Amino acid sequence: MKTTKNLLSLMLVILVFASNISFAQESEQKPVFITITKMHFNLKADGKDWLKTEKEFFDKVTSQNELVVASHVITHLYTADNSEVEFVYVYNSWGDIEKASEVNNKLIEKNFPDEAKRKAFFDKQSSYYTKKHSDEIYQSMSFAKQPATKVSKPQIIYIRKSQMALNGEGKGYNDFAKNVIHKNPLVKAYYPHRHLWGSDSRDFIEVFVFDSLADLEKSADKNQELANISWPDEAKRKEFFEGMNKLFTGKHADYIFQSVPELNK
């Protein structure tokens, strides 16, 4: 698993939009780089010690790597593949992504000093996953909503992947985020990302964090209420959303995961 984990630390989810996309960035918020590696559980393996094993790696390596600003692990809840598990790492710069791998190697040698025991540990860790994985890198956008407090229980992670039109039209999504998403108390955190490295340059990823599936469902009504408050004139509201929607092709996909708080940094 050592090789796999080194790959994990080199990848994730962060976007930099083309210059003709009208998502305004605010200078006071420096973008971060996000790598996302999608792994797949080996469903034939005995996974009873999976969390214990990953927690040991987290405590001895990830949590001690200062170049990793934050990390998260999320597992399938409602997606097309019940074997999915995603490892998310956040870095301050593109250079830190590569440097973090070197730091990981040093921490592995330091905290797993016995070669035989080290091999046994990573062999066990690797056994929980298949050889299939995918990697993408994104860049954060300025209108994220940070969590108010650290949560120790699993949360609902709703991910919406939209397809950008990339035609130079459309504007106002940052205004929508600040006036609606940020003010929605059911949305505990919100992380928008744009494509930087991966399979489709049109990807726009939004990560919404909720305490429960019920809150996810209720959030749509709350969003509509907040939109009506922010744009009370119906004609102007219609004009705003028609303009904003020009940013996208109208195609999107939805995924629901569950967080693993023991592996959050």
The count of domains in the chain is: 1
Nearest to 253 by CA among 142, 177, 184, 158: 158
**Which pLDDT does position 142 carry in this prediction?**
87
> How far is Cα 204 from Cα 255, in angstroms, rounded to an integer?
14
> So what's the pLDDT on residue 8?
35
Among the listed residues 26, 34, 91, the one whose alpha carbon sits nearest the alpha carbon of residue 65 = 91
How far apart, in Å, do the first and last CA atoms of the chain sit? 20
Give pLDDT tens digits along the chain (265 positions).
433 343 333 333 222 223 233 344 444 468 999 999 999 999 999 989 999 999 999 999 999 999 999 999 999 999 999 999 999 999 999 999 999 999 999 999 999 999 999 999 999 999 999 999 999 999 999 899 999 888 899 999 999 999 999 998 999 999 999 999 999 999 999 999 998 887 888 999 999 999 999 999 999 999 999 999 999 999 999 999 999 999 999 999 999 999 999 999 9
Q: What domain range is 87 assigned to?
A: 2-263
Domain CATH number, residue 8: 3.30.70.100
CA distances from 98 to 41, 91, 94 (A): 26, 10, 7
Contact 262, 55 (CB under 8 A): yes
Residue 150: predicted pLDDT: 85
How confident is the model at residue 29, as a pLDDT?
A: 65
The pLDDT of residue 101: 95
Q: Which one-letter amino acid corresponds to residue 247?
A: L
